[in-house]
Structure 1
Amino acid sequence: MKRRDFFKNTAFAAAGAAVLSPIQSVANVSRRDISDRLAGKLAKNIIFMVSDGMSSGTLSMANMLSERRDGRLCEWISLYQRGVVNRGLMDTASANSLVTDSAAASSSWGGGVRVNNGALNIAPDGSRPVPILQKFKAAGKAVGCVTSVPITHATPAGFCVNIGSRSAQAEIALMYHDLRFDVMMGGGTEFFSAEKRKDKQDVFGKFAASGYQVAKNRKEMLAIDSKGGDAPILGVFHQDGLPYALDRENDETMKNSTPSLAEMTGTAIRHLQKSRNGFVLQVEAGKVDWAAHANDTGGVLYDQLAFDETLATVLAFAEADGDTLVIVTTDHGNANPGLFGATKDFEKVFGFRHTNDWVLQGIDRDFTAAQVRERIEHAQGYAISANEAIQLLAHYVTDRNEDGLYNPYKLPFADLAAIQQKYTAIAWASTGHSGDHVEVAAFGPGQELLKPFVRNTDMHNLLLEASGVAVR
């Protein structure tokens, strides 16, 4: 497959043949036309899209990649260029820190109040605000979440449950069962499989016995999508997070066994739109955040492009439907990557086949420096020096003390990123979240409610007001 064709067909195939391309449908529509058409109209449906941990540099570089490689702006930036959205900056603080984590950030949207980092809709005073998907479910709408990380992870859970710790993912899986949401799809098989759970409960079987259509791989998801039944859907396709988009695209086994974010989202929309009262769907590109923690250039940029292709799917549906409010945002910045050098160096990223995660997972203490250099050149198209390879290998022959989230094998992500900067001109400020204000955009009925500057908690009432559901 040519590099410029990467992801090109995925999103629109997932959207369904009846849905128009947003380039066809939105490009020639002015903001005034949209405002006049939507004035005073309630949103029947809401799709809330989160590129988790997306710093402004991530969005900027993904757009540069798209524009220079494919000759077009990414979907998100194209919305700005065409002037068809309301755009704002959002303050992302939690109750106890200017730098939020994903649990507190999602809870600010989900519950409408700020909570301490690590908590899910449990306020500092002990109160338990009703999560927004429970509110919409009670109002008669179909609801669901789609993510590229475990479906029990912080961002989807923040729209769904009240619990003191985001780490209680096995318990969250059981809470989802009792809440009976209409579509839940992502990773995290270890929280549903009897073989993996500490309590040995067969949570997959529990969902199936309760009438859910259960999918454990891409083929089963597509079969459910094709069948088109009304029963709710649970799709859990991989242990922990799903594969990075770049690695998946270049591995046929991964492509056949795990769906893309766009495919999951298309399936979810087609299922949820059967609801006569409309639906609310949260979509998360969770591995953008994981890649940022790892300073993984291929991971963060190509998962951001996968999110952007999913946005194309969503916009195509929303424009054809006319009753759908789309919110596009992130919960916080992470690692603040940026381009600090020559264009020709940045363009090496166009030819990447694999992420830093793929590179480092495949090295062991028996590798030679030559083998390390060969692996990186195969994966990313440039040759590091012998001394740099020896530097990386040193992490495999001593006790590893690397830290960072989502790094259970203590791999030298930061070290590889520092070496990589010389070849790609991309540098990172840290391996953790930042307190930056972040982008938020609104398209569709209710978009006028988004002001130029908002607190993260403002989004809770905005969603309720846009859809005409009582704010309480």
Structure 2
Amino acid sequence: MIKKHQWNHLQVTITAGTLAVSLLLGLSGGTVSAATKEQPEIRAKNVIMLIPDGMSMDGTTLTRWYNGGKALALDEMASGLVRTYSADAAIADSAPAGTAFATGFKSHTGYVGVLPDQNTMPGLPKLAPGDAKKPVANIVEAARLAGKSTGIIATSEIMHATPADFSAHYPDRSNYDALSEQQVYAGMDVVLGGGATYFTPAGREDGEDLTKVIANSGYNIVKNTAELKASTSGKLWGMFADKAMANDMDRDPVKQPSIAEMTDKAIQVLSQNEEGFFLMVEGSKVDWAAHANDPIGIISEVNAFDDAVAKALAFAKADQNTLVIAATDHGNGGITIGDAGTTGTYDEEPLSTFIAPLKKAKATGEGLESKFNSKRTNIKAVMKQYYGITDLTAEEIATIKAAEKGKMNYAVGPMISKRAHIGWTTGGHTGGEVALYSYAPGGVQLTGVVENSDIAGYMASALQVDLANISKQLFVPAKTAFAAKGATVKWDATDARNPVVVVTKGNDTLRLPVFKNTADWNGKTVKLKGNVIHNGVQTYVPQDAVDLFS
């Protein structure tokens, strides 16, 4: 039985120099900030959010020194700090952290675009009964319904946690079938990244051919750099890798565009809409390098991400009607410049102690894997050629030889870190605050220490969209709403992998395929304002589906 829908009225407005956050009784997934911080009035036709997943501040510092001390594009945008904890943990997983950015609500590990089961962290309001796992609107949905163009970019699979947070709803980030299908039917204008396999029948448990659906929906599907640059379509879907794209240092520029090139192209396409646009850009693999304690991977991906920031910032400065926000969803690895080996000499070590070993590397740990022969009998030669390491220990050689496929960065990252005295505290995420970067028309910035869940409110206010109202429009509990119309709801699992919600009343029949925005109304196809969402417990439908029954 689906309980009666109870909604929190979340109003976030940045006006008259004050950020006013009203949390009224009802759905309680929002955040009460540790301190109220006045923010400047910001209005913008466009918003670009860039997320360098897992980028800790020592990682940006290391990258800057690697570049000879030259300022990053991010540097002039630095304006505050972001608190990254989730609904029930001090250290956040990417799924709830991205959900906070996209929707304004903190959530639980693995949960994409839905509320948590409970809020247990200090300062968070108690979750209302029946609200667990309830989908909540994201900024992409709000922008689309406001008539703006929308797009997402990632260097991972496009249905990975963070891009999915801005385009799908499901309490399991590993359910690529559910997430990718929603993305295909989400009505976005530009989608660029990896994960092509997961749109094919062979790569899906449900057997659907989503690549065909994408093509039939009017998208120009592009698969390499030249095709991306040549496209003149207003609807663009880039599939540049079967799974994740390569690290920038390892990338074949003919086969895969850089994240900067993807960002530049997306802005070109989306900015054609006079009503404006929203674009999310994720540098996904800073995080992957940090998990592996691979400093070369971090430098590669921070530099690539920063080039994308430069593209966004240049557009915003010329346009003067665009808000740009950059922030990572969490730290990762506990990276430090200096390790236990520099405890007694830290203030005597020249910069070259840390940078010179890194400058010898010609590939990230991930890219290095392809350089070894099948039996890995050339380990010494490869490490000398690509990393400048000539003093491998027997233990290190054994570690490289035993590395699993796809895990070479975990083997060699610590080796070069040791030689460069780059320290690490963990192979997982970290719970500290992260840097907030912002630029708004007139050079205005967001400042202070803010919650990750505040970011959605800043963006919504700038675009003048109401996320709470959009949630009411898009996520109506199906059973309750249709029962109120005198209709009967049944679950058709004839094809268990592609279930359909069937609603009947008299001679009227409405068939609602789960995770799609198309329905069959008495034999005719109708397009809904949003996707039909099933969270494993309940089904939610857009209000316009309910309104078909008079």
TM-score by length of 1: 0.81
Which position in structure 1 is the counterpart of 2:330?
332
State the 1:152 CA deviation.
0.8
State the 1:358 CA deviation.
2.3
What one-letter code is carried by the residue in structure 2 that aligns with 1:101? D
1:107 matched to 2:115: no
State the 1:351 CA deviation.
3.6
> 1:129-170: per-residue Cα shift (whole Å, max 9, x none)?
111110111111111101111111111111122111111122
Question: Which secondary structure does the structure 2 equivalent of 1:257 belong to?
Answer: coil
Q: Percent identity?
A: 29
What one-letter code is carried by the residue in structure 2 that aligns with 1:136? A
Over 3 Å counting, the alpha-carbon distance change for 1:275 and 1:448 in structure 2 is same
State the 1:272 CA deviation.
0.1
State the 1:377 CA deviation.
1.7
- Larger % of helix: which? 1
Is the 1:100–1:332 contact (alpha carbons within 8 Å) kept by the matching residues of 2? yes
Which position in structure 1 is the counterpart of 2:64?
63
Distance 1:365 1:222 in 2: 36
Alignment of 1:286-365 (within 5 A): 286-340=284-338, 342=349, 343-345=351-353, 346-363=355-372
Over 3 Å counting, the alpha-carbon distance change for 1:91 and 1:40 in structure 2 is closer
1:126 matched to 2:133: yes
State the 1:389 CA deviation.
4.3
Pairing partner for 1:278 from 264, 276, 279: 276
> 1:308-347: per-residue Cα shift (whole Å, max 9, x none)?
1111111111111111111011000000212215422322
Which position in structure 2 is the counterpart of 1:73?
71
Is the 1:247–1:358 contact (alpha carbons within 8 Å) kept by the matching residues of 2? yes
Mind listing any 5+ residue stretches in structure 2 that lack a counterpart?
1-38, 118-131, 343-348, 469-550
1:91 matched to 2:88: no
Question: Which secondary structure does the structure 1 equivalent of 2:461 belong to?
Answer: helix
What one-letter code is carried by the residue in structure 1 that aligns with 2:55? M
> 1:66-85: per-residue Cα shift (whole Å, max 9, x none)?
234xxx211112x0xxxxx4
Distance 1:262 1:374 in 2: 33
Question: Which secondary structure does the structure 2 equivalent of 1:240 belong to?
Answer: coil
What one-letter code is carried by the residue in structure 2 that aligns with 1:213? N
What one-letter code is carried by the residue in structure 1 that aligns with 2:364? T
Distance 1:366 1:439 in 2: 44
> 1:165-197: per-residue Cα shift (whole Å, max 9, x none)?
111122222111211101111000111123433
Is the 2:290–2:332 contact (alpha carbons within 8 Å) kept by the matching residues of 1? yes
Which position in structure 1 is the counterpart of 2:45?
44
Pairing partner for 1:194 from 197, 201, 208: 201
What one-letter code is carried by the residue in structure 1 that aligns with 2:105? V
After alignment, is 355-364 or 183-192 more displaced? 355-364
After alignment, is 38-47 or 438-447 more displaced? 38-47
Structure with greater Cα Rg: 2
> 1:26-56: per-residue Cα shift (whole Å, max 9, x none)?
xxxxxxxxxxxx9755111111010000011
State the 1:199 CA deviation.
3.4
Is the 2:219–2:233 contact (alpha carbons within 8 Å) kept by the matching residues of 1? no
Question: Which secondary structure does the structure 1 equivalent of 2:441 belong to?
Answer: coil
Is the 1:66–1:74 contact (alpha carbons within 8 Å) kept by the matching residues of 2? no
Is the 1:272–1:279 contact (alpha carbons within 8 Å) kept by the matching residues of 2? yes
Pairing partner for 1:440 from 413, 436, 440: 436
Over 3 Å counting, the alpha-carbon distance change for 1:393 and 1:61 in structure 2 is closer
Mind listing any 5+ residue stretches in structure 1 that lack a counterpart?
1-37, 80-84, 249-253, 401-408
State the 1:236 CA deviation.
1.2
- Larger % of strand: which? 2
Question: Which secondary structure does the structure 2 equivalent of 1:255 belong to?
Answer: coil
State the 1:410 CA deviation.
6.7
Is the 1:395–1:411 contact (alpha carbons within 8 Å) kept by the matching residues of 2? no
Is the 1:291–1:297 contact (alpha carbons within 8 Å) kept by the matching residues of 2? yes
Question: Which secondary structure does the structure 2 equivalent of 1:256 belong to?
Answer: coil
State the 1:219 CA deviation.
2.3
Over 3 Å counting, the alpha-carbon distance change for 1:410 and 1:351 in structure 2 is closer
1:372 matched to 2:364: no
Report the number of matched residues: 404
Which position in structure 1 is the counterpart of 2:514?
none
Which position in structure 2 is the counterpart of 1:236?
239
Is the 2:56–2:335 contact (alpha carbons within 8 Å) kept by the matching residues of 1? yes
Distance 1:386 1:121 in 2: 47
Distance 2:268 2:88 in 1: 39
TM-score by length of 2: 0.70
Pairing partner for 2:455 from 426, 443, 459: 459
Superposition CA RMSD, Å: 2.1
Distance 2:56 2:467 in 1: 31
